[in-house]
DNA sequence: TTGCTCCTCACGTCACGTGAGGTGGC
DNA sequence: TTGCTCCTCACGTCACGTGAGGTGGC
């Protein structure tokens, strides 16, 4: 048995607002079973209630409408549950990122300024196994992790030993335009057999102002700010990407406080 | 010492995008120290870097711009930290709500339909101490908790014993229009000395279709859906608010699974 | 002269909410 | 006839991002 319901009645039963129901009709997410051709009145049936409720739940968890559509169109239960599980996974990682950001802000508000040492150094060109891509600033974290994993895996299978600390190059446009060229690399003395996205590149020589960042890279923006300020105030600024050198990483210690990254800003002679 | 910086240099140092900096200028959140009157070029100084970084952190945590403005305008450190702490508090509660929603969805996907019993009942008018307000659907949870707390506190100080289960009335417009009249109440036999928002009201008599919801009210939408479907399919629908009667509440048990709420849908004779 | 950096509009985004103004059935 | 429910536009939201088209200094 199913029953014709006006949009108001269907709204009261499903807890979706009338405005939302009209919008879902417009974008083809939830079609009324019939529409009166003269008045334009929409009619729903009680059999649509569970679908409406699933939509409401997914929207409450901020699943984008195209994805909700994919869930509703899923051909079997397994496919549907996979899509939902993937979204819940993403929600969980956003949750933990937010939690980290809260922690970092709390820390930032309580920490007093630490001493801040800058050294100037000229680095030579170096051969490296590297992955380069044009990346959006929002994706940079995930891209960075994936790329480093891929390079490490390649060095492991080819039994190649790094000849120095791993590092990254980040074009200034990444910050000014939210998108730009980034490179992560591991120095090696002799070329490795390549696969996937990994290429052999020469990291160009540069003159750099360098300071050491302590702790998670999530708080590196403060160190960038202090170093950039130093470079600007000493009229040293040159064009070129900033470099990060990973001296003590998460692979070396479980204690965030012991992490060490050199932040290197390009300067002129 | 401070140094004039172009918008691009300031962006690279602060990690705020050029577009964001222009927008913050437009809305008066972060003023450049000078603007060239002929070219319109904006200039910043290195002393603005810490402010820019605080803005970036707060925006990353989705603090609305008017609030960020209030933080920057705070006259002392204590006031500033209070504003930030309040926002972090809100973030934490959003986090736990999202976590609850994830849990509920997982549960919804795994639970098989339970048996579903509906009874029809005519309830008499009853005297009650109540709080009534027009509430938005988004605020209803917090409003519900606050109001119940206030009524309970009043009954405690006046040593009044409830004459029945506490309950709530919810106009259908709450769901159809996202805003509507809601009442929470505790039945009492004799009027109490009133204070605050609490009034004595007569809960009107009604004919109701009733079913019992088990577990947290976060999942009550499914029970609403099932009950609304039942009422629609039996052509019983009448106008009037839905009623909830809180039979076993969080005050009675710590086990969510034991919670019991009667959901009551208005029907005609 | 050529790039480069910066500028100002105007428009798009995402999922609806907010009116305004109007219609059809009890 | 009066309310009530429903309808369709058109516009607003929030914090920028995305071009288009143009200018000034090296």
Q: Is the Cβ pair A12, B228 closer than 8 Å? A: yes
Q: Is B134 exposed, middle or buried (0-12, 13-18, 19+ CB in 10 A)?
A: exposed
Q: Is the Cβ pair A15, B221 closer than 8 Å? A: yes
| Cα–Cα distances in angstroms (integers) from residue B229 to residues A44, B235, B236, in the given order | 12, 10, 10
Which percentage of chain A shows pLDDT scores above 70? 98
Q: Is the Cβ pair B102, A92 closer than 8 Å? A: yes
Which among B185, B250, B3 is positioned nearest to A236, based on CA atoms? B3
Phi, psi for A124 (deg, rounded to 5)? -80, 165
Shortest Cα distance from A165 to chain B (angstroms)?
25
Phi, psi for A161 (deg, rounded to 5)? -100, 130
- Give the model confidence (pLDDT) of A45-79 as tens digits: 999 999 999 999 999 999 999 999 999 999 888 89
Q: Is the dihedral of CA B7, B11, B16, B18 positive or negative?
A: positive
Q: What is residue A161's predicted lDDT score, i.e. its pLDDT?
A: 93
Distance CA(A126)–CA(A27), nearest Å, equals 54
Residues 95-124 of B with CB under 8 A from A: 95, 98-99, 101-102, 104-106, 108-109
The CA dihedral of A143, A145, A146, A152, to the nearest 10 degrees, is 140
Interface residues, strand C, Cβ cutoff 7 Å: A 17, 19-20, 23-24, 38-39, 59, 64-66, 176, 239; B 6-9, 18, 22, 39-42, 177-179
Nucleotide nearest to A19 (CA to C1'): C16
Q: Is the Cβ pair A98, B95 closer than 8 Å? A: yes
Q: How confident is the model at residue A1 (pLDDT cuts 50, 70, 90)?
A: low
**Mean model confidence pLDDT for chain B:** 91
Q: What is residue A103's predicted lDDT score, i.e. its pLDDT?
A: 84
Q: What is residue A227's predicted lDDT score, i.e. its pLDDT?
A: 95
Chain A contact present for B15, CB below 8 A: yes
pLDDT over 70 (residue B1): no
Chain A contact present for B252, CB below 8 A: no
> Quick one: chain A helix, strand, coil %, rounded to 5?
45, 25, 30
- Give the model confidence (pLDDT) of B24-58 as tens digits: 999 999 999 999 988 899 999 999 999 999 999 99
Q: What is residue A113's predicted lDDT score, i.e. its pLDDT?
A: 67
Q: From the CA atom positions of chain A, what is the Rg in Å?
A: 26
The half-sphere exposure of B260 on its side-chain side, counting CA atoms within 13 A, is 8
Q: Which single residue has its CA nearest the C1' atom of nucleotide D8?
A: A40
**Nearest-by-Cβ selection for A172 from B12, B58, B233:** B12
Q: What is residue B113's predicted lDDT score, i.e. its pLDDT?
A: 67
Q: What is residue B94's predicted lDDT score, i.e. its pLDDT?
A: 84
Q: How confident is the model at residue A108 (pLDDT cuts 50, 70, 90)?
A: confident
């Amino acid at each position: 048995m199913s029953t014709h319901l006006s949009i108001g009645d269907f709204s009261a039963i499903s807890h979706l607002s009338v405005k939302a129901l009209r919008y879902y009709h417009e974008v083809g997410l939830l079609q009324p079973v019939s529409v009166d051709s003269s008045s334009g009145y929409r009619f729903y049936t009680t059999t649509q209630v569970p679908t409406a409720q699933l939509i409401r739940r997914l929207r409450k968890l901020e699943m984008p409408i195209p994805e909700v559509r994919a869930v509703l169109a899923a051909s079997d239960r397994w496919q549907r549950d996979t899509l939902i599980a993937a979204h819940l996974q993403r929600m969980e990682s956003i949750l933990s990122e937010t939690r980290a950001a809260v922690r970092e802000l709390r820390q930032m508000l309580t920490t007093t300024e630490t001493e801040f040492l800058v050294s100037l150094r000229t680095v030579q060109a170096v051969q490296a196994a590297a992955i380069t891509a044009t990346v959006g600033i929002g994706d940079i974290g995930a891209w960075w992790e994936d790329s480093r994993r891929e390079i490490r895996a390649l060095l492991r299978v080819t039994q190649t030993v790094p000849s120095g600390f791993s590092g990254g190059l980040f074009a200034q446009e990444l910050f000014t335009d939210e998108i730009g060229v980034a490179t992560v690399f591991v120095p090696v003395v002799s070329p490795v057999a390549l696969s996937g996205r990994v290429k052999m590149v020469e990291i160009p020589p540069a003159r750099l102002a360098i300071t050491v960042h302590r702790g998670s890279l999530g708080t590196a923006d403060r160190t960038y700010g202090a170093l950039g300020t130093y470079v600007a105030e000493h009229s040293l600024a040159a064009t070129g990407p900033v470099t990060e050198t990973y001296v003590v990483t998460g692979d070396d210690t479980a204690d965030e406080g012991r992490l060490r990254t050199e932040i290197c800003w390009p300067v002129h002679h």
